């Protein structure tokens, strides 16, 4: 094989190493695909010795590119809502986002290659490098972070291995998952490699053992007085134009399902992030037919939790080209004998860059970028997430759309406010992504917030997947509405668990794992230096 053909073969192997774990994610769940991390470890160990960091970065970046193209291709579906103006952008947007996210894999690969000693300790260095850069991706990318499909969230939420998120959180579980999956990349030639494989097998057994124990001890029967929640899924796809007829149809569907007869009257009604396609300021104004219709649909004592947007006059000094601020919000409307009352408001904090707002707006708008990405005036981020406590219902932590991806948000809000919520409410508008894998992935990722916090979750979307999730991240039996379904879920709110280890300690255990990786680097380097010949590396396969 020539040098050029060998280089292309190695690049192809890097692509395969990224594709494999992508198909381990939900909804595919092909867990042997996690061995792609072992292939990547092997490829990095044999990076071109003439330019090892460059070679490692390229191999890591190619693996990451394949991983993210396979994981987030469904984002392109959103551009076909306005197909005439935006359809052409879909492949470029998917490619650009995947290429940008792949930088985290490339950076991790280069860091690993630069630090890892030539012995089995390098396995922990690899796990630390990968998850450190995944943390950066989840907190820095696109300014707000995009923690989609972390390695630790590969496991199906509610399964035995996923329960370790209650101890370590999603990032700590990612460290463990990568270390286990990459262990076969050490080979079996050395004693250290064989020990590493045995420890990885023991760690995998520990994940399953702890998870099975936690699930066996679970008692998720709702308390007799638990509130009855109704999730409304009106099956209202995103439209290119919301005229009066479209608005009336969406309102009719939501109201029809809100008033659907049931053996017991629901205490809480949940509408999705889409709610009604107009501002709260408009359709809840006194005297409007929509306000009267919502008031008539609710009975005294019921609370409606609905997503939508609201408008405020911009304060002096705020950057607002039209003089107004727009918020992607959730509101609580409580019905009493006297009528409707607004009892709580939550504004989305983590906004989607180039979807809900334009980063560096005042600088990029004059260049025409806002018109290109069709952001419009964009939303203003709300304060950091905090629980809300409408009267008559248990306190809750709202998470709007992709806020449900962020590990520790509910914990941080509870600590800052001094109020631990009894449940999490995730309203989303996954209708943008049609009948793709996106909504299934989102459901799985959101469910990890329940595992981490020991809190049940109620999830409402306009077109699916709406669900009730218990405090172990499992779907309540029969409480899932699929894609394209029109209907309701009526369910008693599952109970919350006592605070989890993650709820108490946050990301401290994950930080400890990164310190273990740093210690492994130091220990492995020391052992390598003591060996004859110094800190040699594994032989190179050559090429890029």
Tokens standing for residue 34:
């996690």
As given in the structure block, the two tokens for residue 47 are 């990076």
Nearest to residue 426, comparing CAs of 286, 12, 448? Answer: 448
Please provide the DSSP assignment of 434-462 as one string: TTSSHHHHHHHHHHHHHHHHT--EEEE-S
User: Active-site residue 273, yes or no?
Assistant: yes
**Which of these, 524, 515, 522, 512, lies nearest to 122 by C-alpha position?**
524
Q: Which residues pair with 306 in a beta bridge?
A: 331
Tokens representing residue 96 in the block: 């650009």
Q: Is 496 helix (H, G, I), strand (E, B) or coil?
A: coil
Quick: pLDDT tens for 384-419.
Answer: 999 999 999 999 999 999 899 999 999 999 999 999
- Name beta bridge partners: 416: none
543: left (phi over 0), alpha (psi -120 to 50) or beta: left
Of 402, 395, 295, 299, the closest CA to residue 348 belongs to 402
Ranges of residues in the chain whose predicted pLDDT is under 70: 1, 358-377, 525-544
Q: Strands 339-347 and 396-400: what pairing?
A: unpaired
The whole-angstrom separation of Cα 188 and Cα 177 is: 20
Q: Residue 527: what pLDDT?
A: 66
Number of H-type helices and E-type strands within the chain: 17, 11
Peptide bond into 465 cis (omega under 30): yes
State pLDDT tens for residues 139-192: 998 778 899 999 999 999 999 999 999 999 999 999 999 999 999 999 999 999
3-state secondary structure 131-166: HHHHHHHHHCCCCCCCCCCCHHHCCCCCCCHHHHHH
- Say which of 134, 153, 273, 452 is annotated catalytic: 273
Q: Which residues touch 281 (CB under 8 Å, ≥6 apart)? A: 310, 311
Q: Are 410 and 453 in contact (CB under 8 A)?
A: yes
Tell me the CATH architecture of domain 228-494. Answer: 4-Layer Sandwich (3.60)
Q: Of 383, 356, 352, 354, whose CA–CA distance to 369 is shortest?
A: 354
What are the structural domain ranges in the chain?
3-217+503-530, 228-494
Judge whether 203 and 489 are in contact, CB under 8 Å. Answer: no
Looking up tokens 């408001």 gives 345
Residues 271/304, Cβ–Cβ less than 8 Å: yes
169: three-class secondary structure by DSSP: helix
Pairwise CA distance, residues 98 & 364, whole Å: 22
CA-CA distance, 495 to 422, in Å (whole number)?
8
Of 24, 56, 62, 33, nearest to 43 (Cα)? 56
Name the residue among 124, 167, 169, 125 with its Cα closest to residue 151. Answer: 169
Is 156 labeled as catalytic in the residue annotation? no
Check if 401 is active-site: yes
SS3 309: strand
Calculate the alpha carbon distances from 59 to 109, 110, 148, 178, 239 in Å: 8, 9, 21, 17, 41
> Can you list the alpha helix ranges (DSSP code H) found in 393-437?
409-417
**CA–CA separation, 93 and 207 (whole Å):** 37
pLDDT of residue 373: 45
Strands in 362-503 per DSSP E: 396-400, 423-427, 457-460, 466-469, 475-481, 487-492
Among the listed residues 447, 333, 444, the one whose alpha carbon sits nearest the alpha carbon of residue 391 = 333
- pTM value is 0.93
Please tell me the distance from the alpha carbon of residue 344 to that of residue 351, in angstroms, as a whole number.
20
| Active-site hit among 401, 403, 453, 479 | 401
Which one from 156, 348, 479, 507 is the annotated catalytic residue?
A: 348
Residue 340 has a pLDDT of: 95
Residue 496 near residue 422 (C-beta atoms within 8 A): yes
User: In this structure, is the dihedral angle defined by the CA atoms of residues 415, 421, 426 and 427, taken in order, positive or negative?
Assistant: negative
């Amino acid at each position: 094989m020539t040098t050029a053909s060998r280089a292309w073969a190695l690049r192809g192997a890097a692509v395969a190493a990224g594709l494999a774990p992508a198909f381990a994610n939900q909804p595919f769940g092909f867990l042997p695909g996690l061995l792609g991390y072992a292939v990547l470890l092997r490829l990095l160990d044999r990076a071109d010795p003439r330019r090892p960091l460059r070679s490692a970065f390229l191999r890591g970046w190619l693996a990451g590119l394949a991983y993210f193209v396979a994981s987030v291709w469904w984002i392109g579906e959103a551009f076909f809502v306005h197909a005439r103006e935006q359809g052409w952008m879909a492949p470029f947007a998917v490619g650009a986002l995947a290429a940008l996210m792949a930088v985290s894999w490339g950076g991790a690969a280069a860091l690993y290659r630069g630090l890892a000693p030539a012995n089995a300790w390098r396995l922990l260095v690899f796990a630390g490098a990968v998850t450190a850069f995944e943390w950066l991706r989840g907190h820095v990318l696109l300014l707000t972070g995009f923690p989609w499909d972390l390695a630790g969230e590969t496991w199906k939420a509610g399964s035995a291995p996923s329960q370790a998120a209650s101890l370590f959180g999603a990032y700590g579980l990612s460290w463990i998952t990568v270390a286990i999956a990459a262990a076969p990349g050490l080979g079996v030639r050395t004693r250290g490699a064989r020990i590493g494989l045995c420890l990885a097998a023991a760690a995998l057994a520990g994940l399953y053992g702890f998870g099975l124990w936690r699930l066996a001890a679970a008692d998720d029967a709702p308390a007799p007085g638990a509130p009855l929640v109704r999730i409304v899924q009106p099956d209202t796809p995103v439209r290119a134009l919301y005229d009066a007829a479209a608005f009336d149809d969406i309102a009719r569907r939501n109201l029809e399902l809100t008033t659907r007869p049931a053996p017991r009257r629901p205490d809480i009604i949940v509408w999705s992030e889409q709610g009604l396609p107009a501002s709260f300021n408009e359709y809840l104004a006194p005297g409007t037919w929509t306000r009267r219709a919502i008031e008539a649909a609710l009975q005294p004592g019921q609370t409606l939790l609905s997503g939508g947007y609201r408008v405020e006059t911009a304060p002096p000094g705020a950057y607002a080209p039209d003089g107004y601020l727009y918020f992607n919000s959730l509101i609580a409307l409580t019905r009493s004998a006297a009528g409707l009352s607004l009892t709580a408001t939550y504004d989305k904090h983590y906004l989607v860059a180039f979807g809900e707002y334009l980063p560096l707006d005042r600088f990029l708008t004059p260049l025409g970028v806002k018109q290109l990405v069709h952001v419009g005036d964009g939303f203003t981020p709300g304060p950091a997430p905090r629980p809300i406590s409408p009267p008559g219902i248990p306190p809750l932590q709202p998470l709007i759309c992709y806020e449900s991806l962020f590990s520790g948000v509910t914990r941080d809000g509870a600590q800052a406010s001094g109020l631990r919520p009894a449940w999490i409410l995730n309203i989303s508008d996954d209708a943008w992504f049609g009948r793709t894998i996106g909504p299934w992935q989102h459901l799985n990722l959101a469910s990890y917030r329940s595992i981490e916090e020991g809190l049940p979750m109620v999830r409402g979307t306009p077109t699916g997947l709406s669900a009730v999730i218990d405090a172990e991240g499992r779907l309540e039996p029969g409480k899932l509405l699929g894609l394209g379904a029109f209907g309701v879920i009526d369910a008693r709110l599952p109970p919350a668990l006592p605070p989890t280890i993650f709820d108490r300690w946050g990301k401290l255990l994950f930080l400890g794992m990164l310190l273990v990786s740093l210690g492994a680097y130091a220990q492995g380097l020391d052992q390598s230096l003591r060996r004859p010949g110094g800190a040699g590396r594994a032989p190179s396969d050559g090429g890029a």
